[in-house]
Amino acid sequence: MNLSLYGPPGSGKTTVGKLCARLMQCDFVDVDAHIESATGSTVAELFASEGELRFRARERAAILQLAQRDNLVIATGGGALLDANNRTALEASGPVVCLRASAATIRARLSGDRTRPLLQPAADGELQLEQLLAQRQQLYDSFALQLPTDGLAPQVVAQRILAEALAWQPPRQNESSPALLLGSGALQYLPRVLQQAGLPLPALIVTDTNVAPLWGTALGSRLGVPVCSVPAGEAHKTLATMRLLYDAFLDHGLERGSVVLALGGGVLGDMAGFAAATYMRGVRWINAPTTLLAMVDASLGGKVGVDLPQGKNLVGAFHPPALVVSDPCVLATLPPAQHAAGLAEALKHGLIADAALFAELPAAAPLPRALLQRAIQVKLDIVARDPLEHGERAKLNVGHTIGHGIEAACGYTLPHGFAIGIGLLAEAQLAVRLQLADAALPATIRARLLQLGLPVAQRGLHAQQVRAAMQRDKKKQAGQLAFALPRAPGLVEYGVHANDADIMAAIESVCT
């Protein structure tokens, strides 16, 4: 893929572009310089001799040609992306980052450059630079990837681009785990991503009724791929919805070699993945999670399935997607409650293996990229060591034995993450009763849940109902519930058995 830099003159496209190219060990191309070396004339000379229209045609040809190549850092001239075709071509070839800078910064950076007419006052006395920035503001704002550069050294800007904007391959993935691409704007250049992963365009995009109007329909029309949407929400994570998916797969002529793209939260991903696992004994699928919860948890690890009226996820399979494409840009439309629900699973990952993440996780959206990566890494590391849950992977169930019981007892009306947060607290109480954890642990967890805007108890919940729902938990061993219990931030013990009185007391502690 390529990385393209855009922005006003003086935003640092060339300087930063060269640094990015060095860090990425690839070639740098400045579109203007490319045209100058091909024609032997400067841009100013070309403007004067052949006029702007002819120059723009040259520019278009150069951009289309560069966008076909790979592994380039491309800096585009300030006017280049006024042409929507140029923008589409570059966005299809990789991330396009818009560098921003204030007029004062631009003036300071370009002060020694006498070839810049923009820095001179216009005939009417207005300042040309300010006029240009105002005219193009809407265009600059329309890029998903923005980077303010005021007061930053070019090296810092280049590093931020690599860390924040670019596709990221987690460093410690197991060879058998699916490829994961975490990059803001990644859905923009999906065709290129698929090409590099050796995957065809999906035959069908599966999404839910909330995500379809926000992201699904637009993605479908951009890719020229049909979109099927199913009812949103955990209450629809059922065999009845699976039937809708199988019907859609057949209606759209999906064959064994076809690929399905799931675009949605954990509910949609679990169902679309299970449909992909079972349709014609298995077709490949791509998971594009659209909730924080799905990015940090549900999209990773290959578990797919649906609920039965008797309990959560009782029917399912291990069927990892061929590729996970996580584009944090889609989280912009996530309701605050769903953001909080995602934080509950991120907090769980901190509790399991990253005490600093547990302590530092902030409530505000968006979750900073570095913390998102850390929350993801905890799960990737565990799944890499124990993909089929023969041992340690059971740690990921912390909070979930009681949490799933709460979800079922509430008739699946509570967001999954909320139930898990309450489950973490209840299971910390159980750990204290079993003398596995310090007496202060529940209060520590409770305080973190409250800080993150998560509930710490559920009104109207009947402990007996929760307990009854837990009897159908998948995680039983020889008929006995096997808990994963928190011992301290960063430390969880799995395979723990408890007697009924302790379990009931723990559940009652979160029922009000």
> Which residues form the interface with ligand NAD (CB under 6 A)?
208, 210-211, 214, 232-234, 237, 264-268, 270, 290-291, 293-294, 297-298, 301, 303, 313, 330-331, 333-334, 338, 341, 415-417
Q: Which is nearer to ligand NAD, 44 or 337 (CB)?
A: 337
Q: Which is nearer to ligand NAD, 293 or 371 (CB)?
A: 293
Residue for token pair 């060990």: 25
Shortest reach from residue 417's CB to ligand NAD, in Å: 6
Q: Which is nearer to ligand NAD, 177 or 338 (CB)?
A: 338
Q: Which is nearer to ligand NAD, 12 or 321 (CB)?
A: 321
Q: Which is nearer to ligand NAD, 5 or 211 (CB)?
A: 211
DSSP-assigned beta bridge partners for residue 491:
488
**Closest to 79 in 3D by CA, of 8, 18, 142, 151:** 8
Shortest reach from residue 275's CB to ligand NAD, in Å: 14
Q: Which is nearer to ligand NAD, 294 or 503 (CB)?
A: 294
C-beta of residue 399 within 8 angstroms of C-beta of residue 427: yes
Shortest reach from residue 304's CB to ligand NAD, in Å: 6
Q: Which is nearer to ligand NAD, 265 or 350 (CB)?
A: 265
DSSP-assigned beta bridge partners for residue 285:
260
Strands 323-326 and 179-182: parallel
SS3 153: coil
Q: Which is nearer to ligand NAD, 80 or 187 (CB)?
A: 187
C-beta of residue 303 within 8 angstroms of C-beta of residue 318: yes
Shortest reach from residue 273's CB to ligand NAD, in Å: 8
Q: Which is nearer to ligand NAD, 202 or 264 (CB)?
A: 264
**Alpha carbons 438 and 14: distance in angstroms, whole number:** 56
Shortest reach from residue 408's CB to ligand NAD, in Å: 11
Shortest reach from residue 184's CB to ligand NAD, in Å: 14
- H-helix or E-strand containing 482? none
DSSP of 281-339: G--EEEEEE-SHHIIIIITSS-EEEEEETTEEEEEEEE---SEEEE-GGGGGG--HHHH
Shortest reach from residue 206's CB to ligand NAD, in Å: 12
**Closest to 234 in 3D by CA, of 264, 205, 275, 276:** 264
Shortest reach from residue 331's CB to ligand NAD, in Å: 6
C-beta of residue 299 within 8 angstroms of C-beta of residue 268: no
Integer CA distances (angstroms), 391 to 119, 166, 167, 497, in order: 66, 34, 32, 15
3-state DSSP of 211-238: HHHHHHHHHHHHHCCCEEEECCCHHHCC
**Alpha carbons 231 and 29: distance in angstroms, whole number:** 47
Q: Which amino acid is at 438?
A: D
Q: Which amino acid is at 255?
A: E
Shortest reach from residue 45's CB to ligand NAD, in Å: 49
Shortest reach from residue 290's CB to ligand NAD, in Å: 4
Q: Which is nearer to ligand NAD, 297 or 381 (CB)?
A: 297
* Gyration radius of the chain's alpha carbons: 26
Q: Which is nearer to ligand NAD, 154 or 311 (CB)?
A: 311
What count of other Cβ atoms lies within 10 Å of the Cβ of residue 65? Answer: 11
Shortest reach from residue 57's CB to ligand NAD, in Å: 39
Residue 282 φ/ψ, nearest 5 degrees: 115, 120
**Alpha carbons 15 and 315: distance in angstroms, whole number:** 55
Cα 111–chain centre separation: 40
> What is the distance in angstroms between the CA of the first residue and the CA of the last residue of the chain?
54
